Structure 1
Amino acid sequence: IGTVMGRWSGLLIGGEFDPLAKVSEGILRDVRIAIVHCLIIGYLPAALLHSLRCGRRTVYALQSSLACTVEECASLAASIRLSKSGLLVTGLVGLLLALATPYLVPPVPPTPWNPATWSPEVAWHRILGPLTMIWGWWLAYTIVTVSVRMSRIAKTLAKVDLLDLSPLAPFTQLGLTNALLLIGTPSIWSLMMIETGFGLMMFIIGGTTLIGTAFAMLTPVYGVHKRICQSKEEALGWVNGQIAEQRGSFQGSQSDLPSGRMADLVAYRGMVQDVPEWPFTLSTYTRVALYVLLPVAAWGVGVVAEEVLGRILF
């Protein structure tokens, strides 16, 4: 770090390079990219562990809805874990992609993986790049594992009260948390968009993250969605049967019809039909929209900060 900062200070004094790095190469550009790598390598392990903890905490928050004992909840929570084979496969995929990354970011050096050609700044890229890619894939694998497991746990819900879906809120909260954890990755990477040559990489990262965010948001509540649909079908089947039984009395002698019975049945059917099949509210959609805008906001802050520092220092 001292070597890198020493070279950077020398450039700042001598003014050999454009301080805002509006060209395709330069030590200042390499230093800023190294800083972004340091930020992302600190974020990814923390996000992975947080995703696991949130999945297990969600099980305990659903104890009453699952109608399970503390010991049974502990067993369910312990079932949310990562397999060694899954970590190995996703880690290898991340490593292979990391090896290809230098060839996607211009200017492409003749031998990007030859240590003899690395400057101190580029050495940070080459060392941290594979690590960040591996941890990124591990984070995605963790979120998939937690989400799928929670979707299956939803099948064990004791019952679903169609008139009060609030006990199911932990599923929705887990989906929001997973989406935010994924969005956090491109939010940090977007700081490199102020440098040249990263358009293709950010397009790939942004596109896959949007798909992953939708998956992370919907998968934990998919099992709840199926249970809500099942409960609605059962409730509508019952109320339609009751209405059919009362129809003859309603059309015939009014004296045999209990007061307000038909109106109550029709009103209940309307309430059941209006129950959303996904446990989302307007607040949920608003938060997801704000999450998606985070990378754009981070990029904007990076641009403004660089311009301000450039004006102050130069």
Structure 2
Amino acid sequence: MSTTAPHVNPHTGAPAWTVGDLTVRRIDEVQMPQQTGPWLLPGATPEIVDQVPWLQPDFADEQRVLRLASHSFAVEVDGLRVLVDTGIGNGKQRANPAWDHLNSDYLARLTAAGFAPETVDLVILTHLHTDHVGWNTRADGGSWAPTFPNARYVTTRTEWDYWAGVDMDEARRQMFRDSVHPIWEAGLLDLVDVPFGTTGSRGHALDIAPGVRLRPTPGHTPGQVAVELSSRGESALITGDCIHHPVQLVHPDLGSCVDIDPAAATRTRQELLSSLVDTRTLLLGSHFPPPTAGHVIPEGGAYRLVPASTQRVR
């Protein structure tokens, strides 16, 4: 097993998993710097990580610091070409030094995987955080233009309404100006009404396309969703940020420093994991480093991720 996230040449194909008739591709953007783990999940100390041997070497480094990554997932479902989340984006002013004016080969990887920007039909935004919306747009002279001009971009009305009603700091306002407002102004952003239920409740999933469902996972943000894919009796679930890292399978109460409602985030994780345990549903982590995907099994009163094998597809 590799001790580092592999560099993927855009010409060698994207890592992928088969779910029934579907092929789910991981489109890599960047590996997060080492300091990301201690900042994002401060409760995941080296002592905690040391108690979970299966996290090393892939999910934690030799210093017992968590590994995290930024990527999207791309899949064709019933002729519809779908992209889940769009990463950090290139050339954008960001408060986080690791994300500021990023220059990655994400679009080359996406195109090499067979999803050239103009061919994407649906972009699902699990929530409106900086590292999930960045490639919504790309530089076009002195402005920001939709990267996927023929796509329907989708997020939940609950998510949109939350951010519309809070006093955002300048860094977040900048992100909305360059990565969210341009797709809204272009008429490409659709707000969907996912039934979230009462406060802190997951509610019920919403079918958004054949074989694609949005599953409410509130807590990290009020309107966040996970994305369920299904085909021929098989299924996969893309986490968004309801689970940032596999260490949270062992400690579901271990929250992120940017969770808006930590208690709801914990409840969501616990409910989600209990629903997946010992099923054949493939869990695809939106920030899990390679091997990224696996199945949830019970272990020691909590859970473990058993990695699934990948293939390389063009």
Question: Is this a same-fold pair by TM over 0.5?
Answer: no
Which structure dedicates a bigger proportion of its chain to strand?
2
Q: Relative CO higher for 1 or 2, CA cutoff 8 Å, sep ≥ 6? A: 1
